Structure 1
């Protein structure tokens, strides 16, 4: 028969296994980064900044 500590150790080990299984599952469900979108946004920001500089030069 298990004592209190034995029972707690058993429950703790089962909980840790369940948590690690959930973490693995959660890791597989995370969205992958969309590098093309990020690059496009960076390029658009760069072009916008260049256009703003060009407009300022023309205004001066």
Structure 2
């Protein structure tokens, strides 16, 4: 069985086995979602949007 986490929290590398994780800029994702919500609430959103956040897999012993 493989286990993987999200957001590469600092203790992920300290668990046994070390937890593989997907790392991304959580603040940027939150900012994008807030902008999308604000646009929808003000009526300035013209179409539904999809945002793909840059991410990377940090492979550790749990996979």
TM range (shorter): 0.3 to 0.5
- Decide which structure has greater strand share: 2
User: TM-score, structure 2 length as denominator?
Assistant: 0.34
TM-score normalised according to structure 1 size: 0.35
Higher relative contact order (CA 8 A, sep 6+): 2
